[in-house]
A and B are shown apart, each in its own frame.
Chain A
């Protein structure tokens, strides 16, 4: 009886899975495994791939002795990996900001629909056109940010000459190595704080039973205590999901943004791994090498995700 019940459940599960699984196998698994094969080949996209064993991985990750120093075979790769990790600094701020916004907008309030729409707008308009707008905002001479900063500099210089002996001016946001990454991080924050994460949090906050807050109110719990002991644990599956997705997209992202805003510069300081994969695969036609980079990146993401799963998963509470 028990066994047949379990069999019946497995059969239903199979039926539920089937439509998605067939597509997953065909359009996701097979291409992923194909790219694993390509990572062991030399392939220019036009001729047949040639098997070269571990050569791509050695060129990518290996080091060589040169005049007593260890020199990376591909120093660009390590620089771009560093860039990618650096640009991910914004992620925790974006997640925190999204949560604060979601809590602020998860209530009956005049104009809440308008606010939600406005905060989501930057995500809706995502695409090349809005990046062009940001490029203008950051423009050294005519961009809105610097027009304001320059005016402020002059105003302070005129009114408080002792404190401001010279009128300060805005930086070359996208043209200087030390400003380019922070500029992209700020832009990323502004473009995504009200986006998908906020909506995921809004959905999650709806799943928290109101009765819990009512009971906490009766017990005299403060707003912070209610957040800390009710909201935060109950929305932890969503935080976990957002965290993992942000990690994955952070490691894999940055191509379109950097391509439009900085072309990866200045001095390669905004070139991400994804950008590098794209360049290797589609402009230098070295798809084997590009696949090798992708698979190394996959391993990095996998290890970090597993660690998050192991240690972060513990704090996740399921109802």
Chain B
């Protein structure tokens, strides 16, 4: 019966075939939607805006009182940004090296996580093997144990592997968090089986189905996991703090604590550093976000 069904085609939506364009709606509905989205945007932007303004405000008066805070600073202290570099150098760290470490760790970890967890998720979602359900439940269950208590055992493991103060310790343990496997399994399960069945009948191997059908169809989910994992590594604080020793191995969040340890005068530099630290994640998000909307268009499935 399934073989009688026409093989669905996977299409990228183009502008012409997209039916639910908002411009079909009456203008006032469009306006209302924009208006409410803009109001929400303002609330969302507020903390970030404030962060940016503080980053170019007079470092001596930031955070002191509302009279000293101006939404449009009288004088723009761009020098705060340069001071971030000087300040870190004075503490034996280089801003660029921190940046590079964070980038390298986040990219390595993300690639590892997406690759290994998508393979495992495919096995859990689509392949039959003995012990599948109990094993999956084991994955699920370990997520329920709070991370703060596994911190020490993993740390001891790192020490026994002689991985302390290396990229291995920063990257590898995070790759195997069960989160990615769980998330992708849920997504794979919601994909229409008909495509895979058809490919199987056409003689495709399981590996081929995973690589040529499941993965390409899952671009939205892969892009999501990529964003999450990258972000997770990027803001990770406690783990890099305990497994790195030398200033050369530190990541950005650890480096930025330099600005936390003093008094009010450092807020401007801290916010300047935080603004700079946000840029790569915005880029990753912008790169991935087009896949969030690149949907699957299946034709012929109704038959």
Contact = CB atoms under 8 A, between A and B. Distances in A.
B76 interface: no
A69 to B, nearest CB: 31
Interface residues of A, number: 102
A104 to B, nearest CB: 6
B75 to A, nearest CB: 21
Given A125-B278, A241-B182, A295-B145, A108 B15 contact: yes
11 contacts: A9-B127, A12-B127, A38-B153, A106-B293, A107-B22, A113-B290, A118-B44, A132-B270, A137-B50, A196-B224, A202-B292
A277 B294 CA distance: 43
B296 interface: yes
Contacts of B135: 17
B176 A274 contact: no
A125 B47 contact: yes
Contacts of B179: 245
Given A34-B153, A194-B44, A210-B297, A125 B22 contact: no
B206 A9 contact: yes
Interface string B127-140: 11110100100111
A113 B289 CA distance: 8
Given A23-B176, A27-B173, A104-B33, A297 B152 contact: no
Which DSSP category, helix, strand, loop or mixed, fits chain B's interface? helix
B120 A16 contact: yes
A26 B48 contact: no
B178 interface: yes
A298 B144 contact: yes
Contact of B149 (A123, A137, A199, A290): A290
B5 to A, nearest CB: 14
Contact of A136 (B63, B183, B227, B256): B63
Which DSSP category, helix, strand, loop or mixed, fits chain A's interface? helix
| In the A-B complex, the 8 residue pairs with the closest CB atoms | A23-B176, A31-B153, A203-B220, A206-B295, A20-B120, A129-B274, A13-B127, A31-B150
Given A27-B157, A35-B149, A38-B149, A211 B231 contact: no
Interface string B151-187: 0111001000000000000001101111101110011
A116 B45 contact: no
B47 A281 contact: no
Contacts of B44: 118-119, 121-122, 190, 194
B150 A28 contact: yes
B3 interface: no
B20 A20 contact: no
Given A206-B293, A211-B299, A142 B65 contact: yes
A27 B190 contact: no
A130 B51 CA distance: 8
Interface string B183-222: 1001101111100000000000011001000000000110
Given A20-B176, A277-B149, A199 B253 contact: no
Given A117-B282, A119-B40, A234-B190, A29 B119 contact: no
Interface string A166-204: 000000000000000000000000100010100110111
Given A10-B130, A27-B154, A234-B190, A129 B145 contact: no
A124 B63 CA distance: 23
Interface in A145-171: 147
B220 A206 contact: yes
A319 B190 contact: yes
Contacts of B116: 19-20, 23
Contact of B120 (A12, A17, A273, A282): A17
A127 interface: yes
Given A17-B120, A26-B176, A238-B187, 5 more contacts: A13-B127, A20-B120, A28-B176, A108-B18, A291-B149
Contacts of A108: 15, 18, 20-22
Interface residues of B, number: 108
Contact of A206 (B37, B149, B292): B292
B128 A305 contact: no
B23 to A, nearest CB: 8
Interface in A50-70: none
Contact of B148 (A130, A203, A277): A277
B244 interface: no
Nearest to B125: A318
B271 interface: yes
B45 A121 contact: yes
A72 B286 CA distance: 52
Contacts of A207: 187, 190-191, 220, 295-296
A206 B43 contact: no
A221 to B, nearest CB: 14
B285 interface: yes
A204 B69 CA distance: 43
Contact of B235 (A127, A213, A241, A278): A127
B210 A16 contact: yes
Interface centre among B15, B173, B186, B290 (most CB of A within 10 A): B186
A194 B129 CA distance: 38
A278 B281 CA distance: 28
Given A10-B128, A19-B119, A32 B152 contact: no
